[in-house]
Amino acid sequence: MEGGARMIVTIFTVCLIFLPPTSATLGPKGLRMGFYENSCPRAEEIVAEVVSDAYRKDPGIAAGFLRLFFHDCFVNGCDASILLDSIPSGEKVEKDSPANGKFLRGLEVIDTAKARLESECPGIVSCADTLSFATRDGSVLAGVPQYNMPGGRRDGLVSRAIDVISNVPLVNAPIQQITQLFVKKGLTQEEMVVLTGAHSIGVAHCSNFAYRVNKYNDTFQIDPKLDDADSAKIKSACQRQVSNEEIEKTTLPFDTHTPFKMDGGFYTNLLNGTGLIESDQAMALDPRTRPIVERLAEDEGKWLNQFGRAMSRLAAVDVKTGSEGEIRKQCRSVNLENKGNIGIAQNLGKTNNTAGLGDRSDFPSNSIDSLHDFMRTMP
């Protein structure tokens, strides 16, 4: 792969998880635990059942939810905008961004959960909350201790592919740039390192790491941070004499030992210099983040608990509540009665999404050459 913006992955599963109602526990902007205990008492139970069934068939779905969730929350906030197939203006939506595209996973599971919720409680449970609950449940199935996920989000009316580029980090971005983006979303540098541990599960596509063994820069053909074994593994997977379409689909697991289990192996791998994604590996090299990596590698239990808390914080980024947005009848399109409000919402969205990282002109020159290669690493 020559140039091309490669992005950090954020891959970010239940033993049927039924949270006890605790509606008195308030979260940011009015989110609260047990939000549906009166209006749709089985809401979280229904989502948990659907996710559990999907996970039994494909444990990789947990990583898919994490990626969907991160991409949703970092672009327009946690409002299910990533789930929209289209908007009335005909403008390309977030799904159409090469950073998302055909590599999104878990969409059909969200559709199934939403259909069951609509059957039981029509017009009550938002798609944003459905995705939030599903992501938590998938993560717990993958090994994260049960963590709080308040409800009360409403669904956004805006989804624009152009907003993705300035709101999601690149796979070869410097640590300072990635930290800056997380801080703008209200998260800390430590939470950035903690949440990136979602790469303990899932896979990355060749389009996000093959450049490390193919004209890495003007000085090195191969990224000098890679050892011989890792560079050989990447070459074997991504430089085969097959069609570009097949290579596009080729993946490697982030953690070859426990690819479906959330554990501390991810951080150990970084300390050993075997991180697949360059910006992940940079966390073990940068003096500001290496101590965090070391602490998390030493205490897996601490990391898992921190991960849950950080996910709860991520789930509150720029949420819409109260009378904002809507409760979609189905997650792939806005409600018919709100289609006339799209123009106003889009203008607000343009204002809200210009606070990212600008035109990315300060990123390494090989990061933005081709939007066709501007892909993310989750399946």
Count the helices and strands in the chain (H runs, E runs): 14, 2
Of 120, 148, 152, the closest CA to residue 47 belongs to 120
Active site residues: 71
**Residue 190 to residues 39, 289, 304: CA-CA distances in angstroms?**
37, 8, 13
Q: Which residues are 326's β-sheet partners?
A: 155
Of 271, 349, 244, 279, the closest CA to residue 1 belongs to 244
Amino acid at 276: L
**Which tokens is 68 given?**
């969907």
C-beta separation of 135 from 50 below 8 A: no
- DSSP alpha helix (H) spans, 144-188: 162-165, 175-184
Of 269, 311, 299, the closest CA to residue 150 belongs to 311
Core vs surface per residue 343-372: b (16+ CB within 10 A) or e: eebbeebeeebeebbeebeebbebbbeeee
